């Protein structure tokens, strides 16, 4: 092979490997930790935390608690749009349930709530856990970012 062709193939191989989008894929599936806290919310109280998205991704917010007789709720309000120009500062809550193969909607199992929200670099959410009206409850919030590339 001539030297020019070898150099061209080497450059194309490097471009495909770094995924710059010219020859190879420009997206790689990725997940990572954003925020985790274990705490207690008093009866009827609210525990609030600030969560900042590190990159363009979806944020998965999962609330768990061991006292399944307690009823906790989760909500997230956008407080800063970050790089997401013109976003509406909405409050979101988890859907009724996780879904599944049943034709009827299935509720979350006791002690678990989860939701997915849009994350853009520096987009900030006020994440709140609302306590059971009758009892204190210990909980854990685990937030991860997730990038799922289209195939």
- Say how far apart CA 115 and CA 98 lie, in whole Å: 9
What's the topology of domain 29-147?
Answer: Jelly Rolls (2.60.120)
Q: pLDDT per position in the chain (151 positions), as tens? A: 565 544 544 544 544 444 444 555 578 889 999 999 999 999 999 999 999 999 999 999 999 999 999 999 999 999 999 998 889 999 999 998 887 677 787 889 999 999 999 999 999 999 999 999 999 999 999 999 999 887 6
Specify whether the CB–CB gap between 78 and 122 falls below 8 A.
no
Q: Report the phi/psi class of residue 19: left, alpha or beta, with left for phi > 0 and alpha for psi in -120 to 50.
A: left
Cβ neighbours, 10 Å, residue 47: 18
- Domain borders along the chain are 29-147
Please tell me whether the overall predicted TM-score, pTM, comes out greater than 0.75 for this model.
yes
């Amino acid at each position: 092979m001539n030297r020019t062709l070898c150099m061209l193939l080497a450059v194309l191989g490097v471009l495909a490997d770094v995924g710059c989008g010219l020859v190879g894929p420009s997206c790689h599936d990725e997940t990572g930790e954003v925020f985790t806290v274990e705490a207690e919310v008093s009866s009827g109280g609210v525990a609030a935390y600030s969560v900042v998205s590190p990159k363009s991704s979806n944020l998965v917010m999962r609330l768990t608690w061991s006292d399944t007789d307690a009823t906790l709720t989760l909500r997230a309000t956008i407080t800063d749009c970050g790089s997401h120009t013109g976003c509406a500062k909405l409050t979101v809550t988890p859907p009724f349930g996780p879904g599944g193969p049943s034709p009827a909607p299935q509720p979350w199992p006791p002690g678990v709530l989860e939701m997915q929200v849009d994350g853009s670099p520096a987009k900030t959410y006020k994440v709140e856990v609302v306590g059971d009206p009758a009892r204190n409850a210990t909980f854990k919030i685990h937030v991860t970012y997730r990038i799922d590339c289209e195939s």
